[in-house]
């Protein structure tokens, strides 16, 4: 009787890096560069009125002028408000989301109200917060916290409820304590959804910050938008929008780097093919 040789397949190899990555080309800058070039060419050719859409060169000059006239204070004020509001909203959403995900009675009591409050637009909160807290920093930070709360809450609830039951049964089989089960099983398994909720919450924190500063602020990027509108300066408004985009992208990139570090153990198909 002939013996059949048993061959073992070689372990799958990660695909080679793409050509544009080997060259170090920042592909994400391609679309913004094309938009800027098209806008500059359109205004200079007279296809677009310069008073409605200033060319990128004029926006750059406005940014330079703002930098010499207190731009750092506006950026710092908005950044501090976002940081404080996001921290408050996220720190409140994490335990409440875990409580709702793990306790059916807490879900019955809390979740319907949270879902109803989540549907309220950001601007609807502004008059009430101004009435309750005046025009100081408190209403702005509370409004930003409201915006950050719901995405984080939804991410925590979805993440914990999406944990494979087999993982928790293995933990119970080894008779680990509930605290150890949460720390060693539930939290790592739910972490991708939690981090996605944190990223979405941070993005909404920037949006709610603009809503707060458009109504009642004497400093900040939202105030610059209002000032540009009242003075019919489209270049200032677009400069503030550019700064909001850059700050939002920078904060999201920081969260994305944290996500890659904390989820380095993940070996999904997309993670493997995008290396």
Alpha-carbon separation of residue 205 from 46, 124, 153, 158, 210 (angstroms): 38, 16, 14, 20, 9
- Average of per-residue pLDDT across 102-120: 90
DSSP 3-state assignment of 174?
Answer: coil
Q: Is the pLDDT of residue 199 over 60?
A: yes
Asked whether residue 145 is assigned to any structural domain, the reply reads yes
Asked whether residue 84 is assigned to any structural domain, the reply reads yes
Q: How confident is the model at residue 189 (pLDDT cuts 50, 70, 90)?
A: confident
Asked whether residue 27 is assigned to any structural domain, the reply reads no
Q: What is the pTM of this model?
A: 0.81
Dihedral of CA 217/218/219/222: which sign? positive
Interatomic CA distance for residues 42 and 233, integer angstroms: 19
Domain count, the chain: 1
23 compared with 162, residue with greater pLDDT: 162
- Average of per-residue pLDDT across 249-268: 83
Interatomic CA distance for residues 131 and 122, integer angstroms: 15
pLDDT for 133 equals 86
Interatomic CA distance for residues 146 and 133, integer angstroms: 15
* Least reliable range by pLDDT among 3-17, 40-54, 152-166, 251-265: 3-17
| Encoded tokens for 68 | 């010499």
CATH for 143:
1.10.3720.10
**Neighbouring residues of 233: CB distance < 8 A, sequence distance ≥ 6:** 62, 227
Q: By residue range, what is the domain housing residue 246?
A: 65-262
pLDDT for 197 equals 92
* Spatial contact of 193 and 231, defined as CB atoms under 8 Å apart: no
* Among the listed residues 195, 208, 77, 95, the one whose alpha carbon sits nearest the alpha carbon of residue 147: 208
Q: Is the pLDDT of residue 131 over 90?
A: no
Asked whether residue 268 is assigned to any structural domain, the reply reads no
* Among the listed residues 157, 261, 151, 130, the one whose alpha carbon sits nearest the alpha carbon of residue 206: 151
């Amino acid at each position: 009787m002939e013996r059949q040789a048993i061959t073992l397949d070689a372990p799958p190899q990660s695909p080679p890096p793409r050509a544009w990555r080997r060259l170090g080309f920042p592909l994400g800058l391609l679309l913004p560069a094309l938009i800027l070039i098209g806008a500059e060419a359109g205004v200079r050719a007279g296809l677009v009125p310069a008073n409605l859409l200033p060319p990128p060169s004029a926006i750059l000059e406005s940014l330079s002028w703002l930098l010499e006239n207190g731009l750092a204070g506006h950026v710092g004020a908005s950044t501090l408000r976002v940081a404080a509001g996001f921290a408050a909203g996220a720190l409140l959403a994490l335990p409440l989301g875990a409580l709702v995900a793990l306790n059916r009675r807490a879900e019955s009591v809390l979740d319907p109200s949270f879902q109803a409050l989540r549907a309220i637009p950001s601007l609807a909160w502004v008059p009430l917060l101004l009435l309750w807290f005046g025009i100081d920093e408190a209403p702005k930070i509370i409004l930003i916290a409201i915006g950050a709360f719901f995405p984080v809450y939804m991410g925590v609830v979805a993440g914990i409820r999406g944990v494979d039951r087999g993982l928790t049964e293995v933990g119970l089989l080894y008779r680990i304590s509930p605290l150890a089960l949460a720390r060693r099983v539930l939290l790592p398994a739910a972490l991708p959804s939690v981090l996605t909720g944190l990223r979405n919450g941070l993005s909404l924190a920037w949006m709610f910050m603009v809503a707060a500063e458009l109504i009642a602020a004497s400093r900040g990027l939202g105030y610059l938008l209002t000032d540009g509108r009242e003075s019919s300066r489209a270049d200032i408004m677009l400069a503030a929008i550019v700064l909001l985009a850059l700050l939002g992208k920078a904060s999201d990139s920081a969260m994305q780097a944290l996500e890659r570090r904390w989820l380095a153990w993940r070996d999904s198909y997309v993670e493997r093919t995008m290396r």
